[in-house]
Structure 1
Amino acid sequence: MSRKAIKSINWAALAEKIPQSEKPAFATFKAKSDQHLRRMVANPETPPKIDWTYYKKNVPIVGLVDKFQKEYDAFKVPYPADKYTSLVEAKEKEVLVEIEQFIKKSNERIAAATQEAERVKNLLPFSDMTMEDFRVSFPDEAINTDKPTVWPHTPDVQPENETGRPSH
């Protein structure tokens, strides 16, 4: 992780989004991250340059400093290849598309709910409503006088929906 990435973490904003039950684990993670940052900042970003000419003048063994310099210059610390950044960025793009779809569907649901709320606000108050007004306003919930039902007026207790019982 680069120094820039660690410094750019907004811990306060992140802490607001953590559920209360996860606060101890978050505090432990932040402490480890801070410790890592302190260790990283304590060291220079690039190793100090070696003054080879000084050592060539002061080391009496001929060729030893040249050998060390050659080996030092040839030595490369293997650094793991970054094979996850592209996967994370691809997943981020997928999630952003899903978020946009969710926002679009949510806005549609909000519009439908707002429209329904307006319809209900514009209805006659139930205290002033007649059975006919109720049937016009709520056709699915009103009692159909052409096809009466028995109490409690739910489909599962109606005689035509019961099985295994002889009809009278």
Structure 2
Amino acid sequence: MSRRAIKAINWAALAERIPETERNAFAAFKAKSDQHLRRMAANPETPPKIDWAYYKKNITLSGLVDKFQKEYEAFVVPYPADKYTSQLEAQEKELLAQIEQFIKESNERIASASKEVERVKSLLPFSEMTMEDFRNLYPDQAIQSDKPTVWPHTYDVQPQNEKGKPVHH
């Protein structure tokens, strides 16, 4: 199982997603993984079969080969239990749900931005617009003759504050 899993890693795809600040840690991890893979490949996946009949025929001590065979076949190296796959799969499902939500929200923002782009494209170009057209489209930004302002016509330099009282200089 572990041999197949380690061969299935797409290192190029992973490298594309690693931020520049983590490149050294990624390279160290890949080197460690490659070293582990080389050590695994140096040994067979299953131990070689023992020809018990050959040893029974050539070893004269009675019962010794049978004892070794019984002990060898009873010996089991425990494989570590997989405690993390279920956690990773649950985390993956949660992240996929978050990704779907982000995609949905992004598509809504794209639709809203597209409507705004279409609205702006449908406006009269500023070069052809009169002052009255500008005032009708942007009443909060247009200069109003009944409420004169001083240059540079920004809110913070006007002689009146938000309550309509003169600012003392």
The 5-angstrom pairing of residues 44-83 of structure 1 reads: 44-83=44-83
Amino acid of the structure 2 residue aligned with 1:82 = D
| Alignment-derived partner of residue 154 in structure 2 | 152
Partners of 2:54 and 2:3 in 1: CA distance: 32
- Structure-1 residue corresponding to 2:41: 41
Please give the alpha-carbon distance, in whole angstroms, between the structure 1 residues aligned to 2:167 and 2:124. Answer: 43
Which ranges in structure 2 are unaligned for 5 or more consecutive residues? Answer: none
Q: Contact 1:149–1:158 at 8 Å: present in 2 too? A: no
Structure 2 letter corresponding to 1:84 = Y
Q: Please report how far the alpha carbon of residue 80 of structure 1 lies from its aligned counterpart in structure 2 after TM superposition.
A: 1.7
Return the offset for 1:132: 3.3
- 2:9, 2:63 → 1: CA distance? 49
Shift of 1:75: 1.3
SS at match of 1:159: coil
Q: 1:101 to 1:114 in 2, by over 3 A?
A: same
CA separation in 2, counterparts of 1:162 and 1:62? 114
CA distance in 1, matches of 2:83, 2:20: 34
Deviation at 1:79, TM superposition (A): 1.6
| Structure 1 ranges of 4+ moved more than 6 A | 144-150
Fraction of identical pairs, as percent: 71
Count the aligned residue pairs. 166
1:162 shift after superposition: 8.6
Which residue pairs with 2:13 in the alignment? Answer: 13
CA distance in 1, matches of 2:42, 2:49: 17
Alignment RMSD:
2.9
Separation of aligned partners in 1, 2:51 and 2:160: 98
Rounded Cα–Cα distance in structure 2 between residues aligned with 1:38 and 1:84: 24
Amino acid at match of 1:74: A
Of the structure 1 ranges 124-133 and 94-103, higher mean CA displacement relative to structure 2 is found in: 124-133
Matches within 5 A, 1:85-100: 85-100=85-100
Could you tell me how far apart the structure 2 residues matched to 1:105 and 1:27 are?
35
SS of 1:44's partner is coil
Flag the 1:4–1:158 CA change in 2: closer, same or farther, 3 A.
Answer: farther
User: Distance in 2 between the 1:79 and 1:17 partners?
Assistant: 32
Cα distance per residue 1:42-80 (max 9 Å; x no partner): 111111111111111222221111111111121111222
Determine if contact 1:134/1:142 at 8 Å carries over to the other structure. yes
For residues 2-38 of structure 1, give each alpha carbon's deviation from its aligned partner in whole angstroms, at most 9, with x where no partner exists: 2222222222222222233322222222222111111
Unmatched segments (≥5 aa) in structure 1: none
